[in-house]
Amino acid sequence: MGMVYQADDHELGRTVALKVIRPELARNPDILQRFKQEILLASKVTDRNIIRIYDLGDANGVKFITMEYVAGEDLRAIVRRGKLSPAKAVAVMEQVVSGLEAAHRIGIIHRDLKPGNIMLSSDGRVLVMDFGLARSLDGDG
């Protein structure tokens, strides 16, 4: 759907991840609604294992989401290099489940859980990302 970049938020003085939607997709109302859905649902979940979403913006027609920047890499990239030890795999999944449990407690179902949507920070924190396909149990899922 787009690319994610590391960026500096000069207004708030912090580093953010900037998820930019591809221009050809930005004209599609369904895709824009998916971006908005990601912000609305993910911002309701407050858990150390869920990526924090800050804002949806538009700069000269380029739509973007700003979110918490996490130094690290996604689980897909890690697994491509080789298998995780059983202990490491369990440690990662415990944190994934903790994040999903926080979402489920408030009625949000992720619906797109895959290694590319799980981020492992350099300090060992695991975060679930990309709530673009998520649904709320209150009305739309």
Provide the CATH number for the domain around residue 71: 1.10.510.10
The residue from 47, 74, 112, 130 that is catalytic is: 112
User: pLDDT-based confidence at 138, cuts 50/70/90?
Assistant: low
112 is catalytic: yes
pLDDT reported for residue 25: 75
Which band of pLDDT confidence, cut at 50, 70 and 90, is reported for residue 102? very high
Taking the chain, what is the end-to-end CA distance rounded to the nearest angstrom?
22
Residue 27 lies in a domain: yes
pTM tops 0.85: no
Distance, in Å, from the CA atom of 27 to the CA atom of 47, rounded to the nearest integer, reads 33
- Does 17 reside within a domain? yes
**3-class SS at 65?**
strand
Q: How many domains does the chain have?
A: 1
Query: Quick one: pLDDT at residue 133?
Result: 55
Range from 31-45, 50-64, 93-107 that averages highest in pLDDT: 93-107
Domain membership flag for residue 141: no
Q: Which domain holds residue 50?
A: 2-136
